Amino acid sequence: MRPIVSRRELFRLLGVGAALAGLGASRSFAAPDTEALDKGSHPVGRGIPLSENRGVVAVPTKIPAPIKRSHAIHNEIEIEAREVDAEIEPGAKFSYMTYDGQVPGPMMRVRVGDTVTLTLRNNAHSSTWHSIDLHAVYGPGGGAEPLMVLPGQSKTIKFKAMYPGAFIYHCGVPGMDEHMARGMFGMIVVEPEEGLPHVDREFYLGQNETYTRQKPGIPGSRDFDFDALLREDPSYVTFNGGFNALTAKRLGAMHAKVGESVRIFMVNTGPNLLSSLHPIGNIWTRAWMLGALAMPPMKFVQSVPVPPGNAIVADMELPVPQTIQIVDHSMSRAARQGAVAEIVVTGEENPQIFDSQPLKSAAAG
C-alpha cells in the first residue's frame, strides 16, 4: 500500500519546526500514519460529544445576514476542525470530519474589498492534520498550505476578498478526497459591492457523496470504503450530511409562506459527482450559475448543474402552497441515496395558477 504522503513530505509541508514542536508537546503524538489513513483505520471522532440530536446536520437557516453596508471592513473568523461520530441515518453511525462539528461547515459572508483574518484550530482529539482551501482566496493552495494544522494546534492567515461569488472551501491536505467525502467543506460568499437582490428567506445546503461498505437501510456502523471512492460509487449522496435529513420525516423540513421569495445557497464538494439541482414543483426564477455573482443570473431554469468543487445561488418564487422537494435530479440519488430536502410552503390556495380539482371548482362556481 502506497502512503498518501511520506513523513519527510509531511514535515516539509507543515514546516519542520512546527512539526517538531507538535511532536515535543506534553501531549505527545506521532506524525499522522498516512498508510493507515489511506485505508481508513484511523479512529476518527474519538471523544467529541454532540449536544444536538441532529448530529452534524447543519441548520439551513443558520447563516449570516445579507450585507447592507457600502464600505469594506475587517472580519475575524475562527473555525475548528472536528472529527465526530454521528448518525448518517437512524441507527447508522458514521465517522465525520467537519468544520465546527457541522456539515456543511459554517457559511462565511463578506463583501468585495473586505479583509479577513482566518484562524483554523484543529481539535486536540483529531486523528490527523486538517486545513482549509478557500476558492475565494489568492494565495498558496487557496490558504491550504499555510493552514495545515496538526491536532491541538492552530494557524492563521489574512486575505483580501478581491472578487465576488459563492465559493467552496474544503480541507486541502493530501488525501483530501476522503476528508471531503467525510464532510469537510463549506461555503464562503463574497457579495458584490451592490449586494444581492432582496429575498424573504435564505437557506444553506451542502451536497456530498459518502462511500461506505454498508448500504443505506442496514442498521449498524458505517466503514469508509476506499475502493468505492476510487470507483466513484457512493452509498450515500446527501444534503447537509444526512440521509433525507432536511425532510419532515427526519430532522425537519425548511419552511416558507405563499407569496415569499427564497434563496438557496448550495455548495457541492463532491468529491467526484456533478449535481443537477432541481426543485420539484417549482423552478429557479434566478440562478447565478457556478456561483458567479458578477454575471447576470439565468432566469426560469429547471435544473442547475453544480460540478464538484463549485456552488450555486438560486432563487424561487412561491405562488402556491405545497411541499417542494429539492433533489439531485440524478434521480437514483434522490430515490435511494438520500439527496432530498424539503421546503414546506403554507398559505392560501391559488387556483388561477394551480387547481388540483378543476371539475369541483367549476361546479362550485
pLDDT tens digits, one per residue of 8-38: 344 344 443 333 233 222 222 223 333 333 3
241 or 359: which leads in pLDDT: 241
- Please report which confidence band the pLDDT of residue 359 belongs to, taking 50, 70 and 90 as the band edges: confident
Cβ atoms 314, 286 nearer than 8 A: yes
DSSP per position, 195-258: -----SEEEEEEEEEE-BSSPTT--S---B-HHHHHHT--SEEEETTBTTTTSTTTT--EEEET
Q: What three-state secondary structure class fits 286?
A: strand
**C-beta neighbour count of 2 within 10 angstroms:** 7
- CA–chain centroid gap for 196, Å, is 21
- For residue range 126-159, list pLDDT tens digits in order: 999 999 999 999 999 999 999 999 999 999 999 9
- Please report which confidence band the pLDDT of residue 53 belongs to, taking 50, 70 and 90 as the band edges: confident
- For residue range 300-350, list pLDDT tens digits in order: 999 999 999 999 999 999 999 999 999 999 999 999 999 999 999 999 999
Cell of 176: 483530501
Cβ atoms 340, 325 nearer than 8 A: yes
**Cβ-proximal residues to 193 (8 Å cutoff; 6+ apart), any chain:** 70, 111, 112, 113, 164
pLDDT the model gives residue 278 = 98
pLDDT the model gives residue 217 = 94
Residue with cell 461569488: 165
Residues 326, 43: Cα–Cα separation, whole Å = 34
What's the predicted TM-score (pTM) here?
Answer: 0.86
Mean pLDDT of the chain: 88
Cβ atoms 247, 253 nearer than 8 A: yes
Cβ atoms 343, 256 nearer than 8 A: yes
**C-beta neighbour count of 299 within 10 angstroms:** 11
